[in-house]
Structure 1
Amino acid sequence: MEAPVCLIESRPQGKLAVRQEALQVLAGVTQPVVVVAIAGLYRTGKSYLMNRLAGRSRGFPLGSTIQSETKGIWMWCRPHPRKAGHTLVLLDTEGLGDTDNDNEQKDTWIFSLAVLLSSILVYNSTGTIDSYALQRLHYVTELTKHIRVKAEQAGSSREEGQDRPKFVRFFPDFVWAVRDFTLQLMADGKPITEDQYLERALTVPAGSRGKANEVKQCIRDFFPSLKCFTFSWPASGNSLAQLEHLQEQELDSDFRESARRFCNHIWDNTRPMTLLGGQQVTGAALGHLAQMYVDSINRGAVPCIGNAVEALAKIENAAAAKEALACYTERMEQRVRLPTETLRELLELHAQCEREALAVFTGRAFKDDEATFQKQLIAELVARKEEFCRRNEEASLGRCRAALAEASGELERKLSRGSYSVPGGYQRFLDNQKKMKQKYWKVPGKGLKADEVLEDFLTAKEAVAGLILQADQTLTQKEKEMAAERARAKAAKQQQKIAEQLNAEMQQELEALERSKEEHIQRIKKRLEKEKKALMEELQREMDQKLKEHARLMEEEREEEAKQLNQKIREIKEEMSNSKWNTAVDAASTIASIGACFIPGGLFTRLGISLAAWGIGRLLRK
């Protein structure tokens, strides 16, 4: 994108709307996204900082008046400067506390959406981190009312804030950008780092109350990591009004250094946006999430992360199955040249294309807990393979019949003229039939039906051959009987050969199905292991945050609060233990259900009935 577009439009009466133009852009982003959202009071330079992250001096509009330039949430997708195969999505939000905005609820929803749609949240403020600045960030204390992790169960009551302990698993990293900072980073006569400055500013004294302390505790509890950057004035005097037009060397050197460190931190350390279960978010998925969260807000409901993920999983899994099926069909059409000489050749090509299709599916699908979409995909792949097998047989039959018509032309003409109804005609018939078979076998590319088509032809000529044999006056009755017996034996041998071929083809396909089933099971195991690992990482993030908070409380000798926190730590450990057990049970159940998808009904229809009706039936009639 050469320029930003509006992602979420702020409309009158407090309504929000996702812009279709932005959704179309996101739909084309199939890479994982690193989403950086910035929030803060209006007219504090948020847009300029985001332009630097984009590697541009211009992009998000800057304002030089008292009016806010950004309304709603604007989006700019850029190639990630440090992570190959990723897209950097920058979200510039409407300034909080705009005096032109008479709907404070809208500010809360904009802030909540910035949290929900990002992998790192930058909060931009000016001056210092003091009690006044913290009180202006009161939106963070409202998140317990405006975001839910899991949906309510039917018949269960819900207490406000019950999801609060789980926020740290799913919330973005938090960076506080302090602009126009003029103080010296000193404490107790010693220099301190920006992160230490933030740590001191967020310290909650024992027994303290008040809005600012509530904000401090929420920031500590909700966000998995905290980082701080301080910026001096970027320029002086009237130059500030023309900031986007200034050359890099015209900016304050301290500001340039702070901006360099800030951008490097964002580019190097920000993780791709992930969902519950560790699934990385693509641009298309980000668009779906934005639409679902905004729809919830406009309905007067509270956006629920769990509900959004479940709904997104269905959308993405259905799309993943469709994409995988299209991949399989396209590659089979490209690689298969019908007819194949053997069934094994076709099955090997099928296996290759199926593996590639499954890689497409597993690369995009997630939370397919009961393998619903994977089982549907398996059934579709089996059906497509059966269709290719049917087409392969039809192509072989057509090629063989054409080759046979060409090879048997002379034989048919002599039969119609009665050329064999003469003394010695039977032997001449056999000689011509042999030449016909030799000519037939020389035709290349007949495929797997070559024996069957020839045998059908020879069978159809058995009655004619018998009449020629009986009419041949040069043979004695004994010789005729011996010749007839040899013909029957030869026909029986050919039929046995075809029956064995059909049986071998059935066995090959059954073995291919078994290999395919094992591959599906292995992929399910890998997916479940990946999701289990992601779940453990989510729980571990919450555990680490609680342990860090516990260590701080113990250092400050706040033993009663530390004791209460210990109970939460024990609950997380128990949840981690239960999750491991539940994941193992779910895996076993899912894997067991996969086997039924491989019952080869089409195989028995196409090969089994053919073997029974053609091979065994023919032998019985003989």
Structure 2
Amino acid sequence: MLVPVCLIENTEGGLRTMKSALDILRGIQQPVVVVAVVGLYRTGKSYLMNQLAGQQSGFALGSTIESKTKGIWMWCVPHPSETGHTLLLLDTEGLGDVDKGNSKNDSWIFCLAVLLSSTLVYNSRGTIDNQALEKLHYVAELTDHIQIKSPGARDEDGDEEDSMFVRLFPDFIWAVRDFTLERKIDGRDVSEDEYLDFALQLKKGQSTKILTYNQPRQCIRNYFPARKCFTFPFPTLTCNMAHLDSMDEADLCPDFLSVAKRFCSYVFSESRVKTVQGGHKVNGSGFSNLVKIYVDTINSGSIPCLENAVVALAEIENQSAVNAGLQLYEQGMGDLSKTFPTDLGTVSAEHNRLDAMATQEFLKRSFKDEKGKYTIQLAEKVAKLYKQLLTLNMLASEKLCRKLLLDLYAPMAANIQQGSYAKAGGYEIFCRDRDTMVAKYCQYGQKGMK
């Protein structure tokens, strides 16, 4: 992809997936590493995504107070350090934008970023203080908008829901932009990660005020145990901020560039391939199905459920795997059918070879076919097609043999009509011609099974 495209549009009528973007994803069979950025609008989220894409521009930065990103935009690029993988970048609509299609969708945009990504970058400006954490109230609402198991399902492992969220949620990076403070705690210099951990410390007590203070911190600690922090200084003079996407690196602050380089390096090396419940790695095609499943669920008024999504994804992926295996078999046997009629041994050998290849193709693409439902479906479809091909081969053989016999018999038919055999010695001539015809028929190869 040379430029980003809109994946999920946010309109007054709700969220809508874009077919053109889904079509692009369906063409990607590589595993995808999905990095999503969320945060308040006009805080420079798009700049970070452009850096990860290795480009100066791409995702719209904008130079005014108006938010440039609406909904969720995506950019697929080759992973810079993992051969055979695609880096899928998601730039989300700024949270808290006063000029958006539907302000109620902020929580859904945040939840979709969590559900779809393998690494979630939260972008904020200034410092990690109580005000910044209060603005991250969407984390505290995650359990209201996302379910792990379908209602009524029993957790056989006895796991607490929080621990299940941990296993299924993305890694978390807090990017603090325009950071001007000294990172000191009790007069001691601290790392960026220590600074984040300090900001997430809980207060002791059970008062309403303390519980309110602790809630967003506790949620971040519970749901995102793998946390990382980067503090970015101002990239340039304030007067130049509006032209950030067109400025040369030489004109940017060296300290800013250094942090940006460390940020990108960390994302490239530590971000995982997107997986779903059960540890199944997702490729671009599977990701397109996940997007559609989650958005359709939200639009129906239901709460996205990770377990249900995996079941729905498994059905789509397994049906696609059956189709891929059958298509491979169909194509190979279709090539063979062009040579019909042929002997049964050749047809049987090619059937066995292609049947094994179709099964391998299915296994390569299938997902959670634990009861073998789709394995059986593929076998039945292949068997049905094989039976049809045997019939076609038989009919082709019969047609060829009949034509061959008629062609060889034509001179004898003419002799009979002319009475050539109805005279003295005619019977001997008839027998000679008949034997010659039969010999020629027997010498003709590839007559097939009839």
The TM-score by the shorter chain falls in which range? 0.7 to 0.9
Letter in 2 for 1:163: E
8 A Cα contact 2:25 2:288, kept in partner: yes
Cα offset for 1:101?
A: 6.0
Cα offset for 1:47?
A: 0.8
Cα RMSD of the aligned pairs, angstroms, is 3.0
Letter in 2 for 1:173: D
The equivalent of 1:527 in structure 2 is: none
The equivalences for 1:163-182 within 5 A come to 163-182=161-180
Cα offset for 1:429?
A: 6.2
The equivalent of 1:241 in structure 2 is: 242
**Alpha-carbon separation, structure 2, partners of 1:341 and 1:224:** 64
Evaluate the alpha carbon distance shift between residue 284 and residue 341 of structure 1 in structure 2; reply closer, same or farther with a 3 A threshold.
closer
Letter in 2 for 1:304: C
Letter in 1 for 2:141: E
**Alpha-carbon separation, structure 2, partners of 1:424 and 1:304:** 89
Cα offset for 1:255?
A: 1.4
The equivalent of 1:322 in structure 2 is: 323
Q: Deviations over 1:100-150 (max 9, x none)?
A: 569764322211111011111101112232333222212111101110011
Cα offset for 1:218?
A: 1.7
8 A Cα contact 1:149 1:166, kept in partner: yes
The equivalences for 1:7-406 within 5 A come to 7-12=7-12, 15-100=14-99, 105-153=104-152, 163-187=161-185, 191-204=189-202, 209-223=210-224, 225-339=226-340, 341-406=342-407
The equivalent of 1:444 in structure 2 is: 445
**Alpha-carbon separation, structure 2, partners of 1:251 and 1:191:** 25
Evaluate the alpha carbon distance shift between residue 250 and residue 311 of structure 1 in structure 2; reply closer, same or farther with a 3 A threshold.
same
**Alpha-carbon separation, structure 1, partners of 2:218 and 2:212:** 10
Evaluate the alpha carbon distance shift between residue 26 and residue 434 of structure 1 in structure 2; reply closer, same or farther with a 3 A threshold.
same
Name structure 1 gaps, 5 residues minimum: 450-622
SS of the residue aligned with 1:139?
coil
Letter in 1 for 2:171: D
**Alpha-carbon separation, structure 1, partners of 2:300 and 2:410:** 78
The equivalent of 1:6 in structure 2 is: 6
Structure-2-length-normalised TM-score: 0.87
Cα offset for 1:4?
A: 2.3
Cα offset for 1:162?
A: 6.8
8 A Cα contact 2:10 2:101, kept in partner: no
Cα offset for 1:35?
A: 1.6
Q: Deviations over 1:340-385 (max 9, x none)?
A: 6432211221222223323332333323333223322211110111
8 A Cα contact 2:10 2:102, kept in partner: no
SS of the residue aligned with 1:400?
helix
Letter in 2 for 1:16: L
Q: Deviations over 1:195-238 (max 9, x none)?
A: 33333333435657433422222222213522222212111231
**Alpha-carbon separation, structure 1, partners of 2:234 and 2:353:** 60
Q: Deviations over 1:419-440 (max 9, x none)?
A: 49868957x7665554333322
SS of the residue aligned with 1:138?
coil
- The structure richer in helix per residue is 1
Cα offset for 1:83?
A: 3.0
8 A Cα contact 2:12 2:102, kept in partner: no
Q: How many residues in Structure 1 have an aligned counterpart in Structure 2?
A: 442
Structure-1-length-normalised TM-score: 0.65
Evaluate the alpha carbon distance shift between residue 397 and residue 338 of structure 1 in structure 2; reply closer, same or farther with a 3 A threshold.
farther
**Alpha-carbon separation, structure 2, partners of 1:365 and 1:346:** 28
SS of the residue aligned with 1:140?
coil
**Alpha-carbon separation, structure 2, partners of 1:131 and 1:346:** 74
SS of the residue aligned with 1:446?
coil
**Alpha-carbon separation, structure 2, partners of 1:300 and 1:240:** 41
Letter in 2 for 1:150: K
**Alpha-carbon separation, structure 2, partners of 1:277 and 1:419:** 82
Letter in 1 for 2:401: C
Letter in 2 for 1:175: I
Evaluate the alpha carbon distance shift between residue 309 and residue 388 of structure 1 in structure 2; reply closer, same or farther with a 3 A threshold.
same
8 A Cα contact 2:70 2:100, kept in partner: no
Letter in 2 for 1:166: M
Q: Deviations over 1:74-118 (max 9, x none)?
A: 222233333333332221112223345697643222111110111
**Alpha-carbon separation, structure 2, partners of 1:4 and 1:433:** 77
Of 78-87 and 225-234, deviating more is 78-87
Letter in 1 for 2:47: Y
Higher relative contact order (CA closer than 8 Å, sequence separation 6+): 2
**Alpha-carbon separation, structure 2, partners of 1:224 and 1:389:** 60
**Alpha-carbon separation, structure 1, partners of 2:16 and 2:403:** 64
8 A Cα contact 2:183 2:191, kept in partner: yes
**Alpha-carbon separation, structure 1, partners of 2:193 and 2:328:** 49
Name structure 2 gaps, 5 residues minimum: none
The equivalences for 1:595-610 within 5 A come to none
**Alpha-carbon separation, structure 2, partners of 1:395 and 1:358:** 28
Evaluate the alpha carbon distance shift between residue 359 and residue 212 of structure 1 in structure 2; reply closer, same or farther with a 3 A threshold.
farther
The equivalences for 1:420-569 within 5 A come to 425=427, 432-449=433-450
8 A Cα contact 1:35 1:117, kept in partner: yes
Of 43-52 and 350-359, deviating more is 350-359
Q: Deviations over 1:37-63 (max 9, x none)?
A: 101122211011111112211111113
The equivalent of 1:458 in structure 2 is: none
**Alpha-carbon separation, structure 2, partners of 1:121 and 1:148:** 19
8 A Cα contact 1:204 1:213, kept in partner: yes
- The structure richer in strand per residue is 2
Cα offset for 1:247?
A: 0.7
8 A Cα contact 1:168 1:223, kept in partner: yes
**Alpha-carbon separation, structure 2, partners of 1:346 and 1:41:** 64
8 A Cα contact 1:173 1:225, kept in partner: yes
**Alpha-carbon separation, structure 2, partners of 1:424 and 1:230:** 109
**Alpha-carbon separation, structure 2, partners of 1:131 and 1:43:** 20
Evaluate the alpha carbon distance shift between residue 413 and residue 12 of structure 1 in structure 2; reply closer, same or farther with a 3 A threshold.
closer
Of 393-402 and 140-149, deviating more is 393-402
**Alpha-carbon separation, structure 2, partners of 1:182 and 1:94:** 26
